[in-house]
A and B are shown apart, each in its own frame.
Chain A
Amino acid sequence: MNELSARRAKRKKDWTLNPRAFQRLLTWLDEGANSDGQKYLEMRRRLAAYFDRKNCPTPDELADETFNRVARRLEEEGGAIEGDAPARYCYIVARFVFMEHLREMQKDDTLLNDLRQQPHADALVASEADDEQKIKEQRLNCLEQCLNRLESVSREIIARYYVGKARVKIEHRRVMAEELGITMNALSIRACRIRDKLEACVRECAGAGRNTLP
């Protein structure tokens, strides 16, 4: 019996996500619609954010591990999982992944230290002041490039939506929503999407820049 369990565990561990299983996962997440992978990307973002809020050092890897397990289960069940909606099932699996991750962390004291809360100041002190300045400048250049790549309407929205302080900012947003003829909520969703896009662009640009540094 123990041998059987061990074999099953090994099979699970050795399982890798193949194109067919991935396609099945996408279809299952879409729930009958065809989102061209958008549902998958959004769920991956949410899972990574969940692991990140739990202070896991590798949130993207854990999100992928969650999807691997879901895909494997889908393969076992013939493409459908009864009982839970896809988002809820993904969350349940993510919780297990997180618990396992915590246990692994506890085994390794050095990794556990990484998980502990660190003041931002420490991180700043750790880096060289010159390098920090260079990185800042590079980030600003990237931001300018990425802003120029945005559609003019998106640029207008993000430029106005996130500028100003406290009440002034809220007033800007109210005026903007009125000008665009949309609700504050719809405006907030649009602004968040544009900011996500811009952040990803800057991250990619700055990452590429750092990789090319001597």
Chain B
Amino acid sequence: MSKQLDDAQTLTQYLLGSLSAAESERLDELSVTDDRVAEALKSVENDLIDAYVQDELDEAACAQFKTYYLASATRRERVAFAQAFQAQAEKRLTAQATKAQVKTPTEARMEAATEVEPGRKGRGIFSAWRGFNVSRPAWQWGAACAALALLIVSGWLIFDNARLRQQRAQTEARRDAQRQQTQERQKELTSQSAGSAQLADERADEHADERTRAERERLAQEQAERDQQRIVEQQRAAVQKSSSSNAGASRIASFILAPQMRGASQIQTISILTRTDHVVMRLRLEPNEFTTYRVTLLDETGSQILWRSSPLKARAVADGKTLSLNLRAGLLKPQIVYVLRVTNDAGEIIDDYPFRVVK
């Protein structure tokens, strides 16, 4: 699909019958054969109808809309729907405005503030639909997020608590040992200096205290060093165990890809070792109502299919759904941009996941 055909203005002209015959015929075909054009056309048509209903079209476009677009009964029906939809929205807005008038000055000021801020303005308009309990999902999502956050914080606190208890027990054990040593030394000192003067005794005590403190610090440092050494040894053992168990088995690289966000020009890069046999991709799905998907690996232009999955079921995870797929690493060449395209059962595009391979 050329960039020109993707242009909303061109699609609008097509819908208004203002394009050349050749261009119209090309779009006729694409509107049936190309998923992206078909989707874009639907979206542009809805916006065109709404613009007409809201009196936003310029004079020429409005005239063309009346003479060309409204020639069909089906399309007139769509316009009638849009009129009803806008009327409904306005009715709700008016009701909302009336409510606002009887509010306290503080409430009125707060409402006015939300009208000024564009991000909040959507919510303001949306609040006109409260009759349909539309704000409930936002609260539900908020509550779910709060519960999740609480769960994570609780888990962390429990873990941290256990860790602190363990540390305290170790510290107390060390203190006991040190206290015992100190007592033994004090006994020795006492026996050695049994006949000396009280002043000498005091000095000896002070000296013993200093030595005890120094001894305590030395022991603590040794303990810390031993702990660190043990952690390093454990890590080494884990790595060795992992590498020995993988010897002879196929080497798998695993990646998680997020869908391409609007206007994002940054392409995700995945780094694969040359000896990797398989690449496991986990694709984070945007919220949708589908259960079965297909994934296609395309070249950068999206024109060539390099690989296609069988129907896949999404797996529910904490923050949504993911699709897992296993690709032969040989399919992916270094420094080339690929696109993983997720479609639903009907072949409609759900998301694209462009990525670059580095080997």
Contact = CB atoms under 8 A, between A and B. Distances in A.
Interface stretch (B25-33, B156-164, B212-220, B273-281): B25-33
Given A53-B15, A152-B134, A159-B126, A175 B118 contact: yes
B70 A120 contact: yes
B105 interface: no
A185 B350 CA distance: 10
A190 B80 CA distance: 22
A20 B132 CA distance: 44
Most buried by B among A42, A116, A163: A163
A192 B39 contact: yes
Contacts of B32: 43, 46-47, 50, 87, 90-91, 94
A199 B84 contact: no
A199 B78 contact: yes
Nearest to A181: B286
Interface in B21-47: 28-29, 31-33, 38-39, 41-43, 46
B14 to A, nearest CB: 8
B interface, size bucket: 35 or more
Interface string B328-359: 00000000000000001111111100000000
Given A119-B67, A139-B84, A186-B350, A172 B121 contact: yes
A203 B118 contact: no
A53 B68 CA distance: 9
Contacts of A196: 42
State the main secondary structure of chain A at its contact with B. Answer: helix
A123 B74 CA distance: 13
Contacts of B41: 49
B346 A42 contact: yes
Contacts of B85: 143, 162, 198
Interface residues of A, number: 78
Given A42-B348, A46-B32, A119-B67, 16 more contacts: A33-B345, A38-B345, A42-B346, A52-B75, A53-B31, A54-B28, A57-B73, A88-B29, A91-B32, A117-B67, A140-B88, A155-B134, A159-B134, A160-B122, A162-B89, A184-B263
5 closest A-B pairs by beta carbon, nearest first, are A38-B346, A120-B70, A35-B345, A172-B122, A91-B32
Interface of A: 31, 33-36, 38-39, 41-43, 46-50, 52-55, 57, 59, 85, 87-88, 90-91, 94-95, 116-121, 123, 136, 139-140, 143-144, 147-148, 152-153, 155-156, 159-160, 162-166, 168, 171-172, 174-177, 180-186, 188-192, 195-196, 198-199, 202-203
